[in-house]
């Protein structure tokens, strides 16, 4: 796959757009890999499984993303829903890791 891509304002055809989307998706996956690495670290650090779920932190993360999306003129409610799923998936992953490390 071609690693070179144009920023959106430089795209001249759908091939440019698709290369950019594909490259961005790979970057998102790299960031998700890093984010889930932090979940593994949290599972290792937290002494109590009950500390994995933190509803106050979850709400703060989602609200921060909603606010950031609004500032960027992006669909903030839909992005907040994506983050809700991301955070819940992260919590489940962290719980699985917490159990794996202690069993």
Name the more confident of 90 and 2: 90
CATH of the domain at 86: 1.20.59.10
Q: pTM of the full predicted structure?
A: 0.91
Q: Kindly state the average pLDDT of the residues 44-71.
A: 97
Q: What is the SS3 assignment for 47? A: coil
Give a yes or no: residue 27 inside a domain: yes
- Structural domain containing residue 84: 8-102
When divided into structural domains, the chain yields a total of 1
Judged against a pLDDT cut of 70, whether residue 3 lies above it is answered with no
Question: Any idea how long the chain is?
Answer: 103
- One-character DSSP codes across 4-42: ----GGG--SHHHHHHHHHHHHHHHHHHHHHHHHHHHHH
The first and second tokens of residue 68, run together, are 């950031």
Give a yes or no: residue 25 inside a domain: yes
Q: What is the SS3 assignment for 65? A: helix
- One-character DSSP codes across 78-99: HHHHHHHHHHHHHHHHHHHHHH
79 pLDDT band (50/70/90 cuts)?
very high
State the pLDDT at residue 16.
97
> What is the spatial distance between Cα 66 and Cα 61, in angstroms, rounded to a whole number?
9
């Amino acid at each position: 796959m071609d690693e070179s891509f144009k920023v959106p304002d430089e795209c001249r055809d759908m091939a440019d757009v698709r290369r950019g989307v594909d490259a961005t998706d790979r970057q998102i996956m790299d960031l998700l890999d890093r984010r889930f690495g932090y979940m593994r670290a949290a599972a290792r650090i937290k002494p109590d499984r009950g500390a994995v779920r933190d509803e106050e932190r979850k709400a703060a993360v989602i609200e921060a993303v909603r606010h950031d999306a609004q500032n960027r003129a992006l669909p903030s409610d839909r992005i907040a829903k994506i983050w809700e799923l991301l955070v819940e998936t992260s919590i489940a992953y962290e719980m699985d890791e917490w159990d794996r490390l202690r069993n």
